[in-house]
Amino acid sequence: MVELLLDAAGLALTFQNLLGVLFGLLLGAALGAIPGLNGTMAIALIVPLTYFWDPLFSIALLMGCWKGSIYGGSITAILLNAPGTPEAAATAIDGFPMQRQGQGRRALHMALFASVIGALVSDILLLGASAPISRLALKFGPAELAMLILFSLVLVAGTGSESHLKGLISTMLGVLIAVVGLDPMTAQRRLTFDILELDSGFDLLAMLIGLLVLSEIINQVWTGEARDDVATGAEAVSARGDGSRLSLRDIRGSIGVIFRSSMIGAFCGALPGVGAITAAFMGYDHARMSAKDARRFGKGDIRGVAAPEAANNAVCGSALIPLVTLGIPGSLSVAVIMGAFMVHGVAPGPMLMVEQRDLVYALFLLLIASDLLLPVVALPLIAAGQYLVTIPKRYLFPVIVIFCATGAYSAQQSLFDVKVMVAFAILGFVMKRLSLSPAALLIAFILAPMAETYLRQALRISRGEFSIFVGSPIAAGFAIATVLLFVWSYLRSRRGTDGRALDP
């Protein structure tokens, strides 16, 4: 293990890769700080640019961008009560009251400290847990994997939609879109409607950019959010101006909450479909409920900043556990990261830990490096925060539209992909208006080809007998879990008590 880590360190910790992490952190934190933009959108916009770069450098940059965006969201949550990302919504509950009391800098520094600790806990867990889970996953055959993916599809059907039924519709739509193109086994055309460009299916990046970025812009213009500028100026009290400091006493008083919230976040991250928003609120609730003087929460308690920040940052590392061990993205952000892996020829799944172990461990080390480098980027950004967040959306949105088109075109240098991007933007917008879930569609789009391969392999092995899917204890276990989850979700949705997280 030590030898493996040393080899991975040699591969990962180069000046170029660390620069990539730093650049990613800076970009992610800056974009994450702007309300309306989030880490997933930032990654989707950057992926096409990394097409020509070294895989490790590119993935390091994108991971840095993701981590940076989660922290960046807290800057505006604290300074303006406008969370830059949904993950930072819980941070605003106590962060903004602290800012109004002239304690903004103290809150921002605590958010940074908690973010670093949360991310480190999660990354160390990832480092330790990935290899054993991968070894277990290698024992799975096609039937077990097909049932595991089916279970994941039902689980993630709840991602981004308040109704499980609507989530399932979005998932099925994702499955249908994924099969468009030539069948890899028989080369038969499927749902191409005689459009030649569709023979190779829809390009993932064009689809990502359209569904996540452009559709969100259209939606914000529709709801009128683009009419107002982000900050009014009066609210944007300078964090530089206040004399508050994070003290050792603050850290001592919050360290227990930070570690416990980090564990909550790491647990949430490892579960498909749960996500950083749920983790942040669970972390906050835990801090509030475990406090002796809970009345201060909501009025500017520093633990109310530390807990959600530790929890939402702890999601990043552990969210990669199902990805690198099973090839299953548990959330939209991880699905986009998976897309980036695939663009660079890295196929996540159990074999990744066997075939490209050095690369995986190098990536883990770069994740830890990104945690340690976060303060380098964040401290200057805290000072610049109040200026950054005042970029008006009437300038920002048109520029992003052009970046979307450039990104969609650059990946394959195909103008057809720009049309695909616009079509998916309109689809994503319509889905949002109907409370359907673009996130569930996207995850299903990524999982469906794997599901199809395993489904057909299993059916060929069993000569068409569907009993193979309940033939082994693991497959039967997943089948029962899928049915139970389906029934539970449906009943919960019918009762109208569905409080599922909206993963960005």
Partner 1 sequence: MSDELRGEGAGGRREALTAGGLSIVVSVAALTYLVPRGIGPIGSDPTILAMIGSFGLGAFGILLVVSGLRMPAAEPATRVHGGSRLRATGLMVICLVYAFALDWVGFMTASYVALAVLMLLLRVRSILALLLVPAGVLLGIYVGIELALGARLPEGSIEWPFPWQGGSGSLNG
Q: Which is nearer to partner 1, 101 or 406 (CB)?
A: 406
Q: Which is nearer to partner 1, 221 or 384 (CB)?
A: 221
Please state, as a whole number, how many other Cβ atoms lie within 10 Å of the Cβ of residue 387. Answer: 11
Closest CB 439 distance from partner 1, rounded Å? 14
Closest CB 259 distance from partner 1, rounded Å? 31
Q: Which is nearer to partner 1, 25 or 425 (CB)?
A: 425
Closest CB 501 distance from partner 1, rounded Å? 11
Q: Which is nearer to partner 1, 2 or 402 (CB)?
A: 402
Determine the Cα–Cα distance for residues 354 and 362; give it in Å rounded to an integer: 14
Torsion angle, alpha carbons of 328, 332, 333, 334, to 10:
0
Closest CB 128 distance from partner 1, rounded Å? 36
φ, ψ (nearest 5 deg) of residue 75: -60, -50
Q: Which is nearer to partner 1, 50 or 262 (CB)?
A: 50
Q: Which is nearer to partner 1, 14 or 462 (CB)?
A: 462
Closest CB 431 distance from partner 1, rounded Å? 8
Q: Which is nearer to partner 1, 116 or 335 (CB)?
A: 335
Closest CB 5 distance from partner 1, rounded Å? 33
Torsion angle, alpha carbons of 382, 383, 384, 387, to 10:
100
Q: Which is nearer to partner 1, 116 or 274 (CB)?
A: 274
84 neighbors 32 (Cβ within 8 angstroms): yes
Q: Which helix (H) or strand (E) segment is 182 a member of?
A: strand 181-182
> 189 by DSSP, 3-state: which?
strand
Residue 408: partners with Cβ closer than 8 Å, 6 or more residues away:
48, 203, 205, 206, 209, 210, 417, 418, 420, 421
What's at 71, amino acid-wise? Answer: Y
Using alpha carbons, select from 107, 105, 81, 106 the residue that is nearest to residue 92.
81
Residue 458: partners with Cβ closer than 8 Å, 6 or more residues away:
141, 142, 143, 146, 468, 469
Closest CB 287 distance from partner 1, rounded Å? 22
185 neighbors 16 (Cβ within 8 angstroms): no
Closest CB 416 distance from partner 1, rounded Å? 9
